[in-house]
Chain A
């Protein structure tokens, strides 16, 4: 470590960038690749314009939103309806962005890298930052996130194209298994990242409320389940702490 001086402490350390790029080669990256192979296969099955379909990867960079986009466009919904549907799936990105960036704050540092890093925030990036960012020195974290996000993003364009080409070759059970990697990985990553008892409660409540809210409001189900389940778990955890 170099001796600390004021200017040094209030800026990012860009040696985190290549470290983040290397961190993309991970189980999470592999699972993500499986999901994007599935997305490529979906483009093929809809006969969607390949270039525009691949462009959704870096431009939207959230698989649920991408699926809703190609699906809505395929059903020739109006632009307003399509945009609204995609926007609803993206609401969950807001809390994730808050959580990821809260771990990277360097007082006094330039703000523009935050806007860039925010573009790469998605569930996988949040889960990876939970698992791996603890050991990354504070000033390297934002560059680390940008390196990780950009590498994942570029790789997923390739995997989507591969999925498009492979779509007709893979048998259905195998292709479906690729898609099933995603929920299995999300669930286990959540489990491994839980730090407080109230988060276990939040996980259980979200899992129970999800199917119920889907019956009532299929477009807002995740958002409603998240707010109600998370708030209830937080309130109970908070009350138990007060009592002690």
Chain B
């Protein structure tokens, strides 16, 4: 079982490296600079792509569910969010209800 711990130490260090680069980069940027605005845009696009990956190429348990349920539930999340007056919890709850109903059919 020593193998797993050595691997884990390497993986943890590799992960923290990127956070460390972030600390160093943030020291050169002002909070309202165009550079920060660009970084925000990149991060937003990246997370949007990650959300889509849960829908079109999921792993683990979600891979056993229907693509149509995932698409409809995500649409329901956005719908519920706006209908309830931009409330995140309403959107998430709507998505969960739609998803569990579609998957139980």
A residues adjacent to B (C-beta < 8 A): 27, 31, 38, 41-42, 49, 52, 55-56, 59-62, 64-65, 67, 69, 71, 73, 79, 82-84, 86-87, 90-99, 101-103, 105, 114-115, 118-119, 121, 123, 126, 172-177, 179-192, 194, 196, 198-199, 201-207, 209-211, 213-214, 218, 221-223, 225-231, 233-234, 237-238
Asked whether A185 lies within 8 Å of B60 as measured between CB atoms, the reply is no
From B26, B53, B64, B99, give the contact of A177 (CB < 8 A). B99
- With a cutoff of 8 Å between Cβ atoms, the chain B residues found around residue A174 in the complex are 100
- Check B41–A52 contact: CB distance below 8 A: no
Residues on A with beta carbons closer than 8 Å to the beta carbon of B23: 97, 101, 114-115, 118
B83 close to A (CB within 8 Å): no
Q: Which of A126, A187, A214, A218 is within 8 Å of B51, CB to CB?
A: A187
Distance from A109 Cβ to chain B, minimum over Cβ atoms (Å): 12
The B1-45 residues at the A interface (CB cut-off 8 A) are 1, 4-12, 14-23, 25-26, 29-31, 34, 36-45
**In-complex Cβ contact of B44 among A60, A183, A206 (8 A):** A206
Distance of A202 Cα from B39 Cα, bound (Å) = 11
Which residues of chain A have C-beta atoms less than 8 A from B65's C-beta? Answer: 173, 176, 180
Contact B4 A225 (CB under 8 A): no
Interface contact B22-A101, CB-CB below 8 Å:
yes
A126-B43 in contact given A103-B31, A177-B100 (Cβ < 8 Å): yes
- Residue pair B49, A229 in contact (C-beta under 8 Å): yes
* Apart from A126-B43, A221-B49, A231-B42, 17 more pairs, CB < 8 Å: A60-B15, A87-B14, A90-B19, A101-B23, A105-B26, A118-B16, A123-B50, A180-B54, A180-B73, A184-B73, A191-B86, A198-B37, A205-B45, A206-B45, A207-B49, A209-B49, A228-B45
- The contact of B18 among A42, A97, A185, A188, by CB within 8 Å, is A97
A/B interface sample: 18 pairs, CB < 8 A: A27-B92, A52-B4, A52-B8, A87-B17, A94-B19, A94-B21, A97-B23, A98-B36, A102-B26, A179-B60, A180-B62, A188-B81, A191-B78, A206-B44, A207-B51, A225-B48, A227-B45, A233-B41
A83 pairs with B11, CB closer than 8 A: yes
Chain A residues, CB < 8 A from B6: 79
Q: Please, how many angstroms separate the alpha-carbon atoms of A83 and B14 in the complex?
A: 7
Q: Which of chain A's residues have a CB closer than 8 A to the CB of B45?
A: 202-203, 205-206, 209, 225-230, 233
Interface residue from A69, A84, A206 paired with B48 (Cβ < 8 Å): A206
Q: State how many angstroms separate the Cβ of A202 from the closest Cβ of chain B.
A: 4
Chain B hits for A95, CB < 8 A: 22, 39-40, 42-43, 46
- Whether B44 lies near A199 (C-beta < 8 A) is yes
B62 touches A179 (CB 8 A): yes
On whether the beta carbons of B7 and A105 are closer than 8 Å, the reply is no
Q: In the complex the two chains form, what is the Cα distance from A181 to B17 in whole Å?
A: 29
Q: A214 — which chain B residues lie within 8 A by C-beta?
A: 53, 56-57
In the complex, the 8 A-B pairs of residues with the closest C-beta atoms, listed nearest first: A97-B22, A226-B46, A206-B45, A210-B49, A230-B42, A206-B48, A229-B45, A183-B54
Residues of A near B55 (CB, < 8 A) are 183
